[in-house]
Structure 1
Amino acid sequence: MIADEEYIYYLDDIEEKLYRMNLSDKTSEPLSNRQVLKFIKDDCHIYYTLKVPDDSDWRFKGLYRMNTDGSNVVALDGDIYLYEMGM
């Protein structure tokens, strides 16, 4: 979970999708429609990696970037496999 002045960014436990909750009105909105395993945020972007199916030797695949509102998704490298320390 990551908090800033207006929102809390978090992964849903069941769907494993990225959401943000508005701190003023407590509404949540999905930012991704894919299973995200790990994410980090800076002032303008969220960087994240996707969950790999359980039958794989890897846990993370791809490095992606989106605006903090979930728009403008860019695959920085959609084919790379990462270990947890790689993120």
Structure 2
Amino acid sequence: MLWNLDASWLMMAIATVAVLSYFFGAALDALMREDGFGSFGNALIISGSFFASILGANHEGYNLREMHAAVLVGLAGAFVVLVSLAVVKALLARM
């Protein structure tokens, strides 16, 4: 799906995901406090894993032509990665 976008749509998608990730990252930073990665760190993790999960699903052969399916896969992958990293960080901090 991402490979079929032209440059202007890809830049708008990256900018939209980055801005929304920063808002979610700031809210999650207020909730997670020391177990989080800061608002910018949360945003980087969410943005990167959003696109990585879409690319991974495409690589595995899933058809993500519809936007709602791609957004669902991206959000699920992003929050699975964020929660996994937060659990690892919390476990390492309590050792």
* TM superposition score normalised by structure 2: 0.28
| Greater Cα radius of gyration, structure 1 or 2 | 2
More strand by share: 1
Higher relative CO (Cα under 8 Å, sequence separation at least 6) belongs to: 2
- Higher share in helix: 2
